[in-house]
A and B are shown apart, each in its own frame.
Chain A
C-alpha cells in the first residue's frame, strides 16, 4: 500500500515537472478563463449564472483529453511499462496512479476557477454545492476514462494529438458551454449529445443533477473502464 501511495504522490510531482499536464490542467484553462470570462459576460451577461460550470467543463475536457493521453503514451508506448513487469507490480498501476494524479490536478484547477469566478466576474456560485461537486467528480472521472482510452489505444504521438483535438473541440463547441445549445442547428445539437461534455455540463447546472443527465455518463464510464481493462490485458501479453 505504501508503494501505491508513494507512486501516486510521485506521479503528481512528475506531472508538474513534465509541464505538459501542468500546462493543460492549469495554465491554458486558467488563461482561457481569465480572458473568455470577461468577454462572455460582456456579450451575454446572463452567463453569470453558468460561467463556473462552462469554464470547469472546458478545463476538465482540456486536461483529460489533451493532457493525460500523452503521459499514458509515454509509459505504455515505451519501455517504461517494463519497469512494472520487472518489479512484479500490476501493469495497470501506471494507469491508476496517473488517473488519480490527474484527478487531483483537475479538481484543483476547478477549485481555483470556483474561487476566482465570483471575485473577478461576479459569477454566481451553484445553489447546491454538494450536488455540484458530485457532478464535477463524475464528469472528471468520465473525461479521464476517455483520455485513458486514447492514451492506451493510440501508439503514435501525432495521431494522438489529432484524435484528442477531434474529441476536445466538439466537446467545447457543441456542448453549450461556449454559447447556448439552442442556437445550434439540429444536426449539430445531435452531435453535441454524443459528447459527455454536454451531459456533464447539464449535470453541474442548478437542479441538473438527475438520472436523465446521469445515465449516459455512467454508460460511457462503464464502457471506458471495460475498454481500458481490455487494452491493458493486450499490453500484458504483447
Chain B
C-alpha cells in the first residue's frame, strides 16, 4: 500500500536559522500520526511545508490524496458567520456541505453567530468542519483540542476516531501527550529540526529501556520507583516495608506515560 505522505530530506531555514535539517518521514494510509516536540522543534513548519502553505528550501514532499487542513483560530475574519464560511469553502471546493458531518460536530447550534462570538470549542469544531469539506483523504490537525474543556475534547476525539474508521489519514501536531497516547497509531518526535524517533508508543517505551514505575502510597507518604526488574524490586520493597511495619495503602505499577517517555527521549538525545 502506498504511503499517504512521504517526506524526504526536507530542509527549511528562516534567515540563517536552520529549522528543518533534512527531515524524513513516511505516513501510512489510514493511520493517525502525531508530530511531537517542544516549542521551536519545527512541528508547525513541517506541517505547513507538507500542507503546501509554506515553501521549503530543498527536499521532497509527496502527498497521495486530497488534503483537508484545520487552520488556527486566527484564520477567519472575525465578522464571518460559520454557515457563511462553510458555504464559501464548499463553493471553493466545488462541492456541497455534508450536513450530516456538520450536525455531528454540532455546528447547527451556532451557525448564525459571528465568528468573534464563538467559544474556543466552537471555533475548533468549525475549523474541523471546514477541513472536512470536500471529503479529504488526509486531514491535518494542529493542536486540535487546545483550550477545550473535557466534554469538548471527548467529543472531538470521538470525531477523529470516526474519521479513522472511514479510512482517513490523520496527521496531528499536539502538546497533549495523553491525547496522542489515546488517539494515535504512530508518533514522531521532532527535535531541533530532525526526527529522533518514529514508531508506536510501545516501540518508544522499548527504546527507552522497558522501565517500570512503581507508585506506592504508605502511611508515611507517596513514592515512585523506577526499575527494569519489576518482580525483584516489588518483592524486596514489600518485605522491607513489612519489616519496618509500614502499612501500604495503595500500589500501582505502570510502564510510564508517553509524556515521560518523550521527556526521556529528548533528554537522552541532548546527552
* A interface residue numbers (CB < 8 A to B): 2-3, 6-7, 10, 13-14, 17-18, 74-75, 78-80, 82-83, 85-89, 237-238
Contacts and interface: CB of A to CB of B under 8 A. Distances in A.
A6 B77 contact: no
* Interface SS of chain B: loop
Given A18-B79, A86-B69, A87-B93, A7 B88 contact: yes
B75 A85 contact: no
A10 B74 contact: no
A180 B96 CA distance: 57
Interface of B: 51-55, 67, 69, 71-72, 74-80, 84, 87-89, 91-94, 114
Contact of B75 (A7, A17, A18, A82): A82
Given A86-B51, A86-B69, A87-B89, A80 B84 contact: no
A10 B84 contact: yes
A14 B79 contact: yes
Contacts of B87: 6
A83 B75 contact: yes
B261 to A, nearest CB: 32
Contacts of A17: 79, 114
A147 B64 CA distance: 41
A236 to B, nearest CB: 9
A75 B51 CA distance: 19
Given A3-B92, A87-B93, A237-B55, A79 B84 contact: no
Given A6-B88, A7-B88, A83 B79 contact: no
Given A3-B92, A85-B52, A86-B71, A80 B114 contact: no
Given A74-B77, A80-B76, 5 more contacts: A6-B87, A10-B80, A78-B74, A79-B75, A80-B75
A14 B84 CA distance: 10
A74 B67 CA distance: 26
Contacts of B89: 87
B75 A14 contact: no
A10 B88 contact: yes
Contact of B71 (A13, A18, A83, A89): A83
A70 to B, nearest CB: 12
Contacts of A89: 92
Contacts of B72: 79
A15 to B, nearest CB: 9
Contacts of B71: 79, 82-83, 86
A85 B53 contact: yes
A78 B53 CA distance: 13
Q: Most chain-A Cβ atoms within 10 A of its Cβ — which of B77, B78, B88? A: B77
Contacts of A74: 77
A88 B136 CA distance: 13
Most buried by B among A6, A78, A83, A237: A83
